[in-house]
């Protein structure tokens, strides 16, 4: 597999090296680790330092462009609509620390947006990627099954693109989306919330122009299996290791409830071969893969060297890029 597209290969970089945090083993969650997230409000200057796109004085605020009515139903049973208020409050308008330091840079590197290109964000949530695509000169369209998340996206990111409520497993039913009209598609930490995955990949492929590319950014299926993996410590060898209890069997995993409404999310673990073979089955050929370690760095302490070695060597996220060849 080649690791370049059109002569523009992803660049080497040091993701977050030198940043510090208090390391320690904890349970896996497929989108982020809420317990490590900072919850202070971020000023515009904070967001700019973290790489978020600038927002002008006329940027839309909450309450504007409320096209999805309060009675609109989720477009799929896997929708995060029951979790929308909690998720927005935790992640924030411009994305969580994991989004800003790891997920979005990795996606933008693989997607390689060129000015004027049309990009479809599938499972877009409340639109955290839209400003980055727009800033790169792309034309952004986001679709998500949650009316509440789409309503927030329209309220806060309408200047950066279009947003629609729709089922990722039935994109053809979305009259606003024209098959064969997008240069790129992306699943930003969303593909593992969708089931079944076959129709989702087929629908995404159908939306791409010939030669268009699809990027999947997800937690690494080989190293991060919800409730079936975690960090361990070998006292005799003084090293931190990754424990994997199961991998090859697909596994739907209900996660703990969040928010005042008690909304529960579900993650769908699949081995990596299901994504590779699934992409091939719909005419998409993988030309790039990036296995991504955490950005976290442990503070000084007796385990710091071992923890940092494990953090550097064991990838917890993976990005795949596939090109439409038929």
CATH number, domain containing residue 291? 3.40.50.150
- Residue 21, in any domain of the structure: no
The packing angle between helices 197-207 and 272-281, to 10°, is 40
Residue 161 covered by a domain:
yes
Give me the number of domains the chain comprises.
1
Q: Would residue 305 count as lying in a domain? A: no
Q: Could you tell me if 311 and 231 are in contact, meaning their C-beta atoms sit under 8 angstroms apart?
A: no
Domain with 125, as residue range(s), is: 62-220+267-298+316-324
Name the helix (H) or strand (E) containing 255: strand 251-258
Residue 164 lies in a domain: yes
In a domain, 44, yes or no: no
Helix extents (H) in 177-283: 197-207, 272-281
Distance, CA of 174 to CA of 190 (rounded, Å): 18
107 close to 215: Cβ distance less than 8 angstroms? yes
Does any domain span residue 291? yes
Tens of each residue's pLDDT in the chain, 326 residues: 433 333 334 333 333 322 222 233 333 443 333 333 333 333 333 333 334 444 333 333 322 223 444 456 655 555 556 666 666 666 766 767 888 899 999 999 999 999 999 999 999 999 999 999 999 999 999 999 999 999 999 999 999 999 999 999 999 999 999 999 999 999 999 999 999 999 999 999 999 999 999 999 999 999 999 999 999 999 999 999 999 999 999 999 887 665 555 566 788 999 999 999 999 999 999 999 999 999 899 988 999 999 999 999 999 999 999 999 99
End-to-end CA distance of the chain: 17
Q: Is residue 40 part of a domain?
A: no
Q: What are phi and psi of 48, to 5 degrees?
A: -70, -40
How many angstroms separate the CA atoms of 167 and 143, rounded? Answer: 8
Strand partners, 184: 119, 213
Within a domain: 116: yes
């Amino acid at each position: 597999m080649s690791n370049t597209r059109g002569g523009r290969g992803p660049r080497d970089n040091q993701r977050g090296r030198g940043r510090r945090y208090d390391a320690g083993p904890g349970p896996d969650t497929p989108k982020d680790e809420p317990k490590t997230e900072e919850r202070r409000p971020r000023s515009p200057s904070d967001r700019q330092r973290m790489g978020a796109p600038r927002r002008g004085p006329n940027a839309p605020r909450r309450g504007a462009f409320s096209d999805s009515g309060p009675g609109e139903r989720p477009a799929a049973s896997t929708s995060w609509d029951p979790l929308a208020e909690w998720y927005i409050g935790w992640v924030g308008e411009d994305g969580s620390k994991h989004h800003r330091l790891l997920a979005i840079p990795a996606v933008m590197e693989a997607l390689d947006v060129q000015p004027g290109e049309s990009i479809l964000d599938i499972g877009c949530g409340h639109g955290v990627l839209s400003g980055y695509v727009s800033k790169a000169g792309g034309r952004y369209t986001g679709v998500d099954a949650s009316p509440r998340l789409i309503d927030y996206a329209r309220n806060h990111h309408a200047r950066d693109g279009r947003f629609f409520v729709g089922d990722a497993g039935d994109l053809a039913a979305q009259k606003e989306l024209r098959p064969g009209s997008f240069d790129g598609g992306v699943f930003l930490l969303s593909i593992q919330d969708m089931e079944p995955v076959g129709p989702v990949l087929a629908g995404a492929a159908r939306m791409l122009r010939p030669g268009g590319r699809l990027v999947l950014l997800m937690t690494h299926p080989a190293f991060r299996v919800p409730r079936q993996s975690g960090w361990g410590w070998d006292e005799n060898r003084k090293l931190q290791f990754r424990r994997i209890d199961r991998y090859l069997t697909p596994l739907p995993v209900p996660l703990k409830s969040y928010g005042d409404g008690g909304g529960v999310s579900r993650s769908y673990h699949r081995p990596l071969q299901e994504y590779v073979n699934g992409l091939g089955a719909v005419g998409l050929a993988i030309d790039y893969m990036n296995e991504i370690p955490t950005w976290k760095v442990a503070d000084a302490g007796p385990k710091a060297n071992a923890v940092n070695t494990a953090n550097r060597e064991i990838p917890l996220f993976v990005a795949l890029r596939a090109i439409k060849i038929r």
